[in-house]
Amino acid sequence: MDVKTALSKRKSTRAFLNKEVSIETINKIIEQSKTAPSGVNTQPWEIAVLTGESKDKLCNKFEMAFRSGQKGSMDYKYYPVEWKGEYKARRKECGLLLYSTLDIKREDKEKQINQWALNYQAFNAPVILLFFIDKTMEKGSFMDYGMFLQSIMLSAVEYGLATCPQAALGEYPDIVRQELPEYKDKLVLCGLALGYEDKNHIVNSYRTTRESLNKFVNYYS
């Protein structure tokens, strides 16, 4: 598969088949992806791969915290404190696309909550990858991590797998550290749902839009 095809096929998948992904395949994806660039070759990534009981236990604790009203608090600020302008508009469009595809009305709060709760179950994907970084690392290493994450998602496409990068899986970092104490001194960056796409589920039928180049590229000569 060429890069162009992989880029076009990658999307945030929100419904997965109940089909196991082998550790061998997961390792091949990570092995390919570790060639991603990083400043002075720091390679700041650390990964926990969760499947089966360990994945279910962690996800259930996430969902329980969410449904109890416990507000998530990531180890760093992922989103702006105040949404403005085009960023606010794109965020709104993204949410409307999801809920309109699922025919969830604005007034149907229960359905909205149940749909959001699926974030904490990693949309029932069979595999979760959780990503950690040393607390001493700075913003440059977060940029490095982004390139590493994209490499994983593109590599997954080559193996016929789907992904969804999820800030939501980093919203309760203290729960993560309780369940995985070996990472107690690390920052929890985010998670990634990994598995085989349920192509018959309507939630996977929509795609978010992208701006035309003239909106964000300037040329100088």
- The model's pLDDT over 61-109, given as tens digits with 9 standing for 90+, comes to 999 999 999 999 999 999 999 999 999 999 999 999 999 999 999 899 9
- Yes or no: domain 3-78+120-202 corresponds to CATH 3.40.640.10: no
Could you report the average pLDDT of every consecutive run of 10 residues in the chain (221 residues)? Answer: 94 98 98 98 98 98 97 95 96 95 94 97 98 97 98 98 98 98 97 98 96 97 96
- Residue 1's pLDDT is 87
Q: How far apart are CA 38 and CA 61, in angstroms?
A: 33
pTM: 0.96
* Spatial distance between the Cα atoms of 139 and 117, rounded to a whole number of angstroms: 30
| CA dist., res. 194 & res. 172, Å (int) | 20
Domains in the chain: boundaries: 3-78+120-202
